[in-house]
Homo-oligomer: A and B are copies of this chain.
Amino acid sequence: MTVDEILHQYDLKNTGCRKFILTELLQSNAALSEEEIKKPFPELFDRVTFYRTLKTLEERGVIHRIVLHDNTVKYALNGHHPDQNPLHAHFHCGKCDEVLCLQGKTRFDAELPADFVSHEVFVVIEGLCAGCNHLS
C-alpha cells in the first residue's frame, strides 16, 4: 500500500503535508508523536498545517490517536480494512518511549453498572519493551 493509494482510497487530495505524514508513518512500525513525525524536516510545514492535517487524517479514519498516561499523543495508521474492533490496545515502553499497537491478542471484560453502555475501550499498557528490558 503506497501513500498515493491510501489518499486515493480515502478520497483525499494528494497534498504535501499529507504525503509527508503518511510516508513517515508507513516507514515506522511504531506509533509516532507529532514531533517524531516532523523530526527529519522540522520546518517543512507550518505548525497549524500539521495540526489540521493530523486532524483531517484522523477524522477520515486514515490514522488514529493514542493518548498515553503522561498526556502525550502518538499517531498510527489504521489497518487497511475499516476497524470494527472497539478495543484499542497499545503498549508504551517507559524507557525508550516507543508505542506499539497490539492488534488482536488482547481481551478485556468489565462489569459495568446497570444500564451503562460501552462503545469503545482504550487500553494503554505501560512497561518495558524487549530491548529496554534486556538492558536493565
Query: What is A's interface to B at a CB cutoff of 8 Å?
Result: 65, 67-71, 73, 89, 91, 94, 100, 102, 105-130, 133-134
The answer to whether residues A122 and B126 also contact, given A106-B110, A109-B107, A110-B102 and a CB cut-off of 8 A, is yes
In the complex, chain B residues whose CB is within 8 Å of the CB of A69: 65, 67, 120, 122
User: Do residues A89 and B110 form an inter-chain contact, with CB atoms below 8 A?
Assistant: yes
Name the one of B67, B125, B130 contacting A121, with C-beta atoms under 8 angstroms: B125
**Total copies of the chain:** 2
A interface, by DSSP: helix, strand, loop or mixed?
strand
**Given the complex of chains A and B, what is the CA–CA distance between A100 and B73 in angstroms?**
23
Q: Please measure, in the bound complex, the distance between the C-alpha atom of A68 and the C-alpha atom of B89, giving whole angstroms.
A: 14
Q: How far is the CA of A50 from the CA of B70 in the complex (A)?
A: 18
